[in-house]
């Protein structure tokens, strides 16, 4: 019988599709929210008859999109979702990126408790699921993964793309230096170099203010770094948010694990991991964001989620691999002779 039918976890290989739906939805929402803000201003000003043709199109489109979700007071109803993945309100629940809270505490050298409370849900989810924000929610991931697929296509066509490996500890230095600069400058310096914060801010500038800021240039540089220097290099080596989420989720109970009895050592999981981890040899580690790309790539369903407080120690060759079978042949012969 096919080992994939024995695993009991074959449904998990479809989680990567769900992840892409969530990433796309989050990014789409970040694009939509600035338009909703503009639409609210039009509504509040009762300015429809004075709008320019392009503004009329925005008004009519947003009215059609939001009409099923608003009540008698659309201006107030549309406040249900506001902000960005950096800090915002979701149906009355205020949520903030833990990095924003760290920056606030560093800049003022004190804890603003109401702000800290807005980060408790993300912190709790990270402690349980690990660096899931990076793989499942971060709007920059949506763009970076598309760029990575383009880079792979370019590499197959013979174009050189970045493949350097750097020290993974650099991002922790960036995290510390960001806190230091937040203290010295008296503001949250992380927001200037943190892609999730940059994307939400720059989208608002572009839609509501018809311009872009320096963040757009910085984000473009991170994309070039990924393409020309190192695959997913910014997330792997430089992102302060990734460093913080990795530390918070170091003891996550929900983690990926290889079932060695179903593994054939095909290396497809290693190739699928954009973070340069090695699932095939049980090397997931603190940087694993539970993105499930390795699950989707595995032809034998040998990788799945399990409840453990640490990664499985190296288990050796997969039992379906030619190498393992060759190693077992002498033992089988010896047992037959005895």
- List, for residues 173-190, the tens digit of each pLDDT value: 999 999 999 999 999 999
Closest to 236 in 3D by CA, of 224, 221, 246, 248 = 246
Q: Is 158 left (phi over 0), alpha (psi -120 to 50) or beta?
A: left
Would you give the DSSP letter of residue 319? T
Sorting pLDDT into bands at 50, 70 and 90, what band is 338? very low
Separation between Cα atoms, residue 168 and residue 242, nearest integer Å: 11
Q: Residue 91: what are its φ and ψ, rounded to 5°? A: 50, 50
Residues contacting 103, CB < 8 A, separation 6+: 178, 179, 182, 187, 188, 189, 190, 191
Report residue 310 CA to chain centroid gap.
Answer: 21
Which residues, other chains included, contact 159 with Cβ-Cβ below 8 Å and sequence gap of 6+?
A: none
Return the half-sphere exposure (C-beta side, CA atoms, 13 A cut-off) of residue 287: 23
Confidence check: pLDDT of 129 > 90: yes
User: Stretch 42-62: mean pLDDT, rounded?
Assistant: 91
**Is residue 25 within 8 Å of residue 5, measured between CB atoms?**
no
Average pLDDT of the chain to the nearest whole number:
91
User: How many angstroms from the chain centroid is the CA of residue 22?
Assistant: 10
Would you place residue 330 in the very low, low, confident or very high pLDDT band (cuts 50, 70, 90)?
A: low
Distances (CA, A) of 221 to 148, 233, 234, 281: 15, 11, 10, 33
Q: What are phi and psi of 256, to 5 degrees?
A: -80, 150
Q: Does residue 331 surpass a pLDDT of 90?
A: no
Nearest to 305 by CA among 29, 14, 2, 3: 14
């Amino acid at each position: 019988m096919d080992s994939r039918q024995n695993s009991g976890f074959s449904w998990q290989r479809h989680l990567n599709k769900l992840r892409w739906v969530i990433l796309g939805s989050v990014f789409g929402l970040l694009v939509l929210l600035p338009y909703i803000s503009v639409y609210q201003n039009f509504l509040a000003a009762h300015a429809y008859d004075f709008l320019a043709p392009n503004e009329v199109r925005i008004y009519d489109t947003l009215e059609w999109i939001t009409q099923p979700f608003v009540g008698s007071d659309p201006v107030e109803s549309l406040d249900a979702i506001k902000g960005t993945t950096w800090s915002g309100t979701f149906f009355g629940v205020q949520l903030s990126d833990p990095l924003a809270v760290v920056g606030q505490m560093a800049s003022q050298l004190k804890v603003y408790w109401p702000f800290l409370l807005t980060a408790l849900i993300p912190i709790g989810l990270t402690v349980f699921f690990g660096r899931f924000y990076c793989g499942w929610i971060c709007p920059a991931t949506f763009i970076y993964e598309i760029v990575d697929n383009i880079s792979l296509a370019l590499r197959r066509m013979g174009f050189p793309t970045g493949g350097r490996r750097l020290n993974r500890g650099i991002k922790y230095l960036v995290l510390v230096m960001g806190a230091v600069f937040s203290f010295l400058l008296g503001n949250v310096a992380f927001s200037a170099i943190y892609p999730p914060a940059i994307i939400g801010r720059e989208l608002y500038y572009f839609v509501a203010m018809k311009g872009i800021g320096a963040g757009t240039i910085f984000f473009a540089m991170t994309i070039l770094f990924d393409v020309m220097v190192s695959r997913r290099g910014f997330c792997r080596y430089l992102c302060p948010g990734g460093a913080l989420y990795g530390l918070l989720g170091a003891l996550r109970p929900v983690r990926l694990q290889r079932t060695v009895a179903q593994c054939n050592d095909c290396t497809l999981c290693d190739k699928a991991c954009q973070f340069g981890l090695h699932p095939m040899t049980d090397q997931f580690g603190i940087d694993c964001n539970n993105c499930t790309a390795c699950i989707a790539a595995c032809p034998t369903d040998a990788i799945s989620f399990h409840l453990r407080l640490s990664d499985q120690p190296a288990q050796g060759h997969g039992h379906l691999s030619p190498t393992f079978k060759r190693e077992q042949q002498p033992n089988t012969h010896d047992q037959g002779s005895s």
